[in-house]
Every structure is written in structure tokens, then in C-alpha cells.
Amino acid sequence: MNFHTDYAMTIDGKAVSAAATIPVTNPATGEIFAQAPDCGRDQLDAAVAAAKAAYKIWKKVPIAERQALVAKAGDILIAHAEELGRLFTKEQGRPVDAARQEVLMAGEWLKSVAAMTPPIHVAEDSAVQLIETRYVPLGVVCAIAPWNFPVSLAMWKVAPALVAGNTMVLKPSPFTPLCTLKIGQLLADVFPPGVLNVISGGDELGPWMTSHPGFAKISFTGSTATGKRVLESAAKDLKRVTLELGGNDAAIVMPDVDLDEVAQKIFFGAFYNSAQICVATKRLYVHEDIYDGLRDRLVAIAKAVKVGDGGEQGTVLGPIQNKRQYDRVIDLLNDAKTKKLTLFQGEAPSNGGYFVPVTIVDNPPEAERVVQEEAFGPILPMLKFSDIDDVIDRANDSEYGLAGAVWSKDLDKAVDIARRLETGTVWINQNLNLRPDTIFGGHKQSGFGVENGMEGLLEFMAPQSLYLARA
């Protein structure tokens, strides 16, 4: 079948097609609805060369001008949130309102980061000497994004990298390339040619990028398994690396909570975006005194929530984003069924789309795969606890350390528990809340380096200390 495609890559400010294309599937139907360019190796070289040439100019542009252009990019995303949101739903699966919300959030993120200026540390400013440290850009950044939050996680990289004075070649996931390609085109006139290049391609393109000698830095968001490959590849020429990876986040629910008040929040902290969130609650530890009450409430929500095509009115949760991930989630579900674990499930369509019913696993043994592995799909194990030291040990007994949550009316006690969790982010009586001015990063195998906050900006820069003799 031939697909007319108006999805172009952006290389050196120009719209560029490729000799081949990759198919893009609507996960709500399982049907291919568009084709995206499959970037050739020579085109990657051209994008890196354009970014390298642009870097010589862009790094000298005063930071205030760079900030103004990044803020303008944010306004453009916000102005196009409606059309980008509709396209987002088609390629990613998330319901339209939430899809538009991500584009708006990404726009706001660009604007917030555009207001950040790296510090200058002065150690001495005397008649004898000036000793100060400033931050300088790194060069050309390789940015690789995942499919679960394709627009915002890409902009988390674009904003600080460009404010810092770097140029970039950005690659979206082959499962969700379209919005990012559109954004590349929308921003082609905002930045000088070569500053922001957007390319798309299949499974080979990521490894080509991470091993390309033209990059000074790799900013990667994706799975822990791929993150390890990226780090290995970067070691060859010691590229700077930031890795935002997987998680298996625990939430601990204390017996003093108001169940009616927290049930909805806990439910969507686990299942929003059909649970395809790095920081979703993936293990829910509930005090034995309230376990049955919370389980019954969560099961009631699971049965009431509409799972379906994100383009349809009333849909709350969309499909799993792609077939590869769908197969993984189904495998985990089948494993739970084989082990005869008790499952409570909602409804999901069976129409060829990648739908999985919302599933709550009732107090499985800790060693089960459904507890130990990152599902990245709507399967939530609920586990009973009675002793707080024991539950903290169980929560921390993971190779991951991305985020965690504590639910309690006793805020002092909750803070004490939260501080004992071995994760980069801890929430108390809330979840999924992330901000551009606050550091985000994983402990253990959930990450390497950080994004957001001043430290996130500085990951795209190198310190340079100056010693000036005045006398």
C-alpha cells in the first residue's frame, strides 16, 4: 500500500524525506495510518554536520536571545496544541484531552526552562586575582526519546540543551515519530538552521547515533536495558551521558488514610496513560487494616473506567502504545494467570487494538514476576503489610529507584518513611507531580544523571574555571 506522507525530517532547517519509510500504527485499531521517513546513515551524518556548523554560531548567540527563542518555541507548541493533540492520540493512543494536555505542558516546560540562567561561581574577586567558574556548552547533543510521553520528554531535552548553547539531533521513538517530526517543522523557522534537527527511523538509527563521533553528549530516556547499551556505546569516545530509565515504583498506604479521598488519586497514579509512565505506582503496599477497603474501591473504579479508542468521547484510558509492549504486558498477565494469582479486571475492547483490561492483582507473593518486573501496562499488584520497617525493606528491594509515594494523614511519619525510600523522587499524598524547576533523576538502575532544575540544565554544560592574575 502507498501512503502519502507529509511527515518530513528537519535537517539544517529544511524539510527532508528519506529513501525509505517506517510505518506508523494507530494502537487503538492496530492499523497503519501513516509513514515516517527512515533516516539513512548519510542523512544522520548530514544532520550531525549541520548541527556542528550551527553550534559555532549558536554558542555565541547571547543567552538572553537563546532563551527568547526557546520561549517562542514554547508559545508555538501551545498555539498548535489542538492539532498536535489530535495527531498525538492517533499515534500514541491517549485520549484527546490528555494528549492536548501533554503538548500544552511541553510548551510551558520550554518557557519555564527558558527563564533559567546558569550560575557563575566567584571564589575570589580581589585586587590580586579573579577566580571564577562559568558554564559553557558541550557541542552537538544526541537526544533519544521514548513513546510513552513522546512530546514532553523530548522537550525536556530540547529546552535545556538549546538554552545552554548546544545544538541537537533529536530522534523520537519509531512508534511515535509524527508529533515530534511536526514540531521539528513548526520550529524550523524559530531557530537558525541546524540548531534543532529532527530525524526518524527504525531500530538501527539509535545505535548509529550513540556511536556517532560527532556527538558530545547523549540525553536518553527509555528502558534500563537500552540505557545500558547507550552507556556502553558512549564509552568509546567518553560522550557525556544522561540516562532516564525504567522504574518499579512502590507506594505505601498507611492505615490512617481516608479511603474515599485517596482511592481515585492512587488509581490514576497507577493507571494514567494506561500505566505507561516511568513514575507510575507499580507496586501498591497497603496496610492490612485497610487493604480490603482500598482494594474494593480500586476494583470498582477499574470496572467503571472506560478503556477504548482515545479518539472516542468518554474514553479515559487508551490502548497499550505498541504491539511489542502489548505482547510483554500480555505475557506478564498470562504468567499471573498460570500461577493462579487472584485478578480483578475491568473491561477492554477486543477489536484488533492493543487493549489490556485494567487489572488488579490481589496480594501476590513478593517474588512473583508481576511484582518484580516493570509492567509498563495496566497490571497493578496490591500487597499487604503490617510492619513499617518490613514494608520499607520490600519497597527498596529493587534494582530500580525512580520514585515512590507515601499516603498518610500523619505528615511527620510520612516524611520519615518517604526519606527512607531509595528513589530520586518521593511523593506524599500526591503522585506524578513533576516540575521544570525541580531535579528529576533515578537512583540505582533507574538513571544516570538528572533532568530538570538547574542541575538538569548544567548536565548540558561543562564548568570552566578561570584564574586571572591582576597583580
Stretch of 45-53, 242-250, 256-264, 379-387 lying at the interface with ligand NAD (CB under 6 A): 242-250
Task: Measure the CA–CA gap between 371 and 389, rounded to whole angstroms.
Answer: 19
Identity of the residue, 177 or 193, whose beta carbon is nearer to ligand NAD in the bound complex = 177
Site stretch for ligand NAD (CB under 6 A), options 108-116, 148-156, 341-349, 356-364: 148-156
For residue 153, state whether it binds ligand NAD (rule: CB under 6 A).
Answer: yes
**What minimum distance in Å lies between the beta carbon of 374 and ligand NAD?**
6
CB neighbours (10 Å) of residue 14?
15
- Residue 144 forms beta bridges with which residues? 171, 220
Rule CB under 6 A: is residue 246 a binding residue for ligand NAD? yes
Q: Which residues, in sequence order, are CB contacts of 251 under 8 Å at separation 6+?
A: 266, 269, 270, 281, 283, 284, 285, 404, 405, 406, 407, 431
From the CB of 425, what's the least distance to ligand NAD, in Å? 10
| Residue least distant from ligand NAD (Cβ) | 206
Which is the catalytic residue, given 91, 278, 374, 459?
278
Q: Which is nearer to ligand NAD, 92 or 315 (CB)?
A: 92
> What is the distance between the alpha carbons of residues 76 and 103, in angstroms, rounded to a whole number?
10
Selected catalytic residue, list 91, 102, 244, 451? 244
What is d(CA 365, CA 363) in angstroms, rounded to the nearest whole number? 7
Residue from 229, 328, 409, 420 touching ligand NAD (CB under 6 A): that is 229
Contacting ligand NAD within 370-389 (CB under 6 A): 374, 376
Taking CB under 6 A as the rule, does residue 269 contact ligand NAD?
Answer: no
Asked if residue 184 binds ligand NAD (CB under 6 A), the reply is no
Residue 1: what residue type?
M
Taking the complex as a whole, how short is the minimal distance between the CB of residue 455 and ligand NAD, in angstroms?
Answer: 15
Give the whole-angstrom CA distance, residue 420 versus residue 410.
Answer: 16
Show Cβ contacts of residue 225 under 8 Å, excluding neighbours closer than 6 positions: none
CA 143 – CA 211 distance, rounded (Å):
13
Does 144 bind ligand NAD (CB under 6 A)? Our answer is: yes
Among 107, 137, 184, 222, which residue sits at the site for ligand NAD (rule: CB under 6 A)?
A: 222
CA-atom Rg of the chain in angstroms: 23
Total residues interacting with ligand NAD, rule: CB under 6 A: 29
Q: Which of 51, 168, 230, 254 binds ligand NAD (CB under 6 A)?
A: 230
Answer yes or no: 244 catalytic.
yes
**Cβ nearer to ligand NAD, comparing 165 with 404:** 404
For the window 271-310, what string marks contact with ligand NAD as x by the rule CB under 6 A? -------x--------------------------------
221 is a contact residue toward ligand NAD (CB under 6 A): yes
* 299: three-class secondary structure by DSSP: helix
- As to burial, measured by CB atoms within 10 angstroms (0-12 exposed, 13-18 middle, 19+ buried), residue 172 is buried
Nearest distance in Å: CB 130, ligand NAD: 39
Contact 185, 169 (CB under 8 A): no
Give least dist CB 222 to ligand NAD, A.
3
Nearest Cα to 34, choosing from 21, 48, 24, 20?
24
Q: Residue 85, interface with ligand NAD (CB under 6 A)? A: no
Residue among 295, 262, 277, 308 nearest 363 (CA): 295
Q: Which whole-number Å values give the CA distances from 270 to 51, 137, 190, 280, 438, in the listed order?
A: 39, 38, 38, 5, 22
- Which window, 42-50, 81-89, 245-253, 453-461, contacts ligand NAD (CB under 6 A)? 245-253
CA angle 465, 466, 468 (to 5 degrees): 155
User: What x-and-dash track marks residues 197-216 binding ligand NAD by CB under 6 A?
Assistant: ---------xx--x------
Cβ proximity to ligand NAD: between 234 and 316 the closer is: 234
39 is catalytic: no
Q: Does 223 bind ligand NAD (CB under 6 A)?
A: yes
Question: DSSP letters of 394-440?
Answer: HHH-SSEESEEEEE-S-HHHHHHHHHTS-SSEEEES--S---TTS-B
Q: Are the beta carbons of 73 and 108 closer than 8 angstroms?
A: no
How many residues would you count in the chain? Answer: 471
Nearer Cβ to ligand NAD (172/364): 172
**Which residue in 146, 310, 318, 377 binds ligand NAD (CB under 6 A)?**
146
Catalytic (active-site) positions: 244, 278
Footprint of ligand NAD on this chain (CB under 6 A)? Answer: 144-149, 153, 171, 173-174, 206-207, 210, 221-223, 226, 229-230, 244-247, 278, 374, 376, 402, 442, 447
